[in-house]
Structure 1
Amino acid sequence: MKRTVSWLVSSVLVGSMTMSYANADNHQNAEQPIEQSMKPYQADYLITRGDSEYGEGYRYLEVSPEDEWQLRTKSDISWFILSDTREARSVFIVDEKNSRLEPREFIYMRTGTGSDKSFHGEFIADEKKVRNVDTGRMLEVNWEDALFDEANVTEQLRVDLANGSEVFEYRLVDEKGNEDEYRFEVLARDQQLSLPYGEVKAIKVGRIRDNNRRQTFFWFAPELNYVMVKMQQFKEGDEQATMSLKSLSM
């Protein structure tokens, strides 16, 4: 049967309390300037489950001459007569002073077998408000300092990994237009991966949840400017999907 894949889902338990804690509002001790981490790239991925190919996906990050960034992501999965395609577009600027990304627009679309879903949000930074473009209504979001969207939060995570952080916490607007909190922690460093792209050494990161029914693990490669090179999702211990880097241009 067809399985669906989200870019960001999972859970792991918080480890040592001696880990350096870094949330989206505290980047004073950055080891790598954000302007060095934020470089345009296109990453293409192969999506598998066990020995079977599910589909493919990509992450495409670019910047305009006006220094407005755009991240586009897509996963396209097919299994027999079932299909699932998920696309997201995040528009944001880079706040170099605070070493964080500030969203301007977030679009999410899901099509395929079952009900189609979509969300279009506009981030009004001056007013600290988020508007649902489709309905015209303001969302009930507490935007005090840093706020992200479900797509660009992975970019902020790799920026903070380059800064040497170990535990991460982000407030964001998800694909349903709801406020949520994502937490992550570094689980291992210098893991050697054999990917369609080739041999890569990467940092393993896990998503922290209140229970471990669902788990997702991410791998980011310092030698590739901390681009995400692998994502693996489990549900109740069973592998749901693995996304592996097959090509990268920077």
Structure 2
Amino acid sequence: MKRTVSWLVSSVLLSGLAMNTAVADSQQKAGQPIEQSMKPYQADYVITRGDSEYGEGYRYLEVSPEDEWQLRTKSDISWFILSDTREARSVFIVDEENSRLEPREFIYMRTGTGSDKSFHGEFKPNEKKVRNVDTGRMLGVNWEDALFDEANVTEQLRVDLASGAETFKYRLVDEKGQEDEYRFEVLTTEELSLPYGEVEAIKVGRIRDNNRRQTFLWFAPELNYVMVKMKQFKEGDEQATMSLKSLSM
């Protein structure tokens, strides 16, 4: 059975910023500027659970001649009789002055076992509003400073990590079209043995109000802070691990 997965962190294959330029927190240190972090790439991953492989994934970041960025993710997971396919597309521009990504469009689709789901949002920065394209209605989101979508928030996280931040807080619109807040913190640095090879990576944990679910992400400075691994737990049990298999930049 062929299994194809691209991770959304819908996160992340599948994952606004209330921290100005992240507003990544008070522990900001000297680091690389956003224009150095934001380079096109394609990362391919293998998805496992325990000792079993049940998917592959990718994150594809590209930029147009008009400096409009697009992040695409997709996931197709097969596990016994269960299937789950997720796709996301985030269109945004890079605000170099404030070191942050400004979303313009977010599309999410999920099909497979269970109910199909989708959301298509249009971000209107001048009005500080987000429109549900399918219904034509404006969302009730509080867009005061920075706002992200569930797909590009991981890109903002790696940008802020490269800038030297160690704690992070973002306001975003999720795959349901609802406002949410994601918080992260740097935990440690580890040597990883991945299908891609040996890399040193910074481990980041998502901060939640309870420990029922846990998410950890690893970013490799030597690979321009691209995410090289993600691991999710639910009530202490591993749900999925995504590990970098190949990378082109």
Instruction: State whether residues 186 and 203 of structure 2, in contact with CA within 8 Å, keep that contact through their aligned partners in structure 1.
Output: yes
Distance of 1:211 and 1:32 partners within structure 2:
33
Q: Return the offset for 1:97.
A: 0.2
Residue 90 (structure 2) aligns with? 90
**Aligned letter for 1:7?**
V
Distance of 1:53 and 1:122 partners within structure 2:
36
Residue 115 (structure 1) aligns with? 115
Residue 50 (structure 1) aligns with? 50
Instruction: State whether residues 24 and 160 of structure 2, in contact with CA within 8 Å, keep that contact through their aligned partners in structure 1.
Output: no
Give the TM-score normalised by structure 1: 0.90
Give the alignment of 1:1-250 within 5 angstroms.
Answer: 7=9, 24-25=22-23, 31-189=31-189, 191-250=190-249
Per-residue CA shift, 1:7-36, capped at 9, x if unaligned? 1569xxxxxxxxxx8862468865211000
What's the Cα RMSD here? 1.9
**Aligned letter for 1:226?**
Y
Per-residue CA shift, 1:139-164, capped at 9, x if unaligned? 00111110000000000000000011
2:159 alignment partner, SS class: helix
Q: Return the offset for 1:214.
A: 0.3
Per-residue CA shift, 1:24-51, capped at 9, x if unaligned? 2468865211000000000001000011
Instruction: State whether residues 24 and 169 of structure 2, in contact with CA within 8 Å, keep that contact through their aligned partners in structure 1.
Output: no
Q: Return the offset for 1:56.
A: 1.0
**Aligned letter for 1:84?**
D
Distance of 2:70 and 2:61 partners within structure 1:
6
Please list every run of 5 or more consecutive structure 2 residues that lacks an aligned counterpart in the other structure.
Answer: 13-18
**Aligned letter for 2:229?**
K
Residue 14 (structure 1) aligns with? none
Instruction: State whether residues 22 and 168 of structure 1, in contact with CA within 8 Å, keep that contact through their aligned partners in structure 2.
Output: no
Residues 28-37 or 44-53, more deviating: 28-37
- Cα distance, 1:48–1:121 mapped onto 2, change above 3 Å: same
Q: Return the offset for 1:199.
A: 0.5
Q: Return the offset for 1:74.
A: 1.4
2:183 alignment partner, SS class: strand
Residue 17 (structure 1) aligns with? none
Per-residue CA shift, 1:192-241, capped at 9, x if unaligned? 00001010100000000000000010000000000000000001111011
Distance of 1:93 and 1:67 partners within structure 2:
7
Instruction: State whether residues 22 and 169 of structure 1, in contact with CA within 8 Å, keep that contact through their aligned partners in structure 2.
Output: no
Q: Return the offset for 1:80.
A: 1.9
Distance of 2:11 and 2:132 partners within structure 1:
23
Work out the percentage of aligned pairs sharing the same amino acid: 86
Give the TM-score normalised by structure 2: 0.91
Please list every run of 5 or more consecutive structure 1 residues that lacks an aligned counterpart in the other structure.
Answer: 11-20
Residues 145-154 or 26-35, more deviating: 26-35
Instruction: State whether residues 20 and 145 of structure 2, in contact with CA within 8 Å, keep that contact through their aligned partners in structure 1.
Output: no
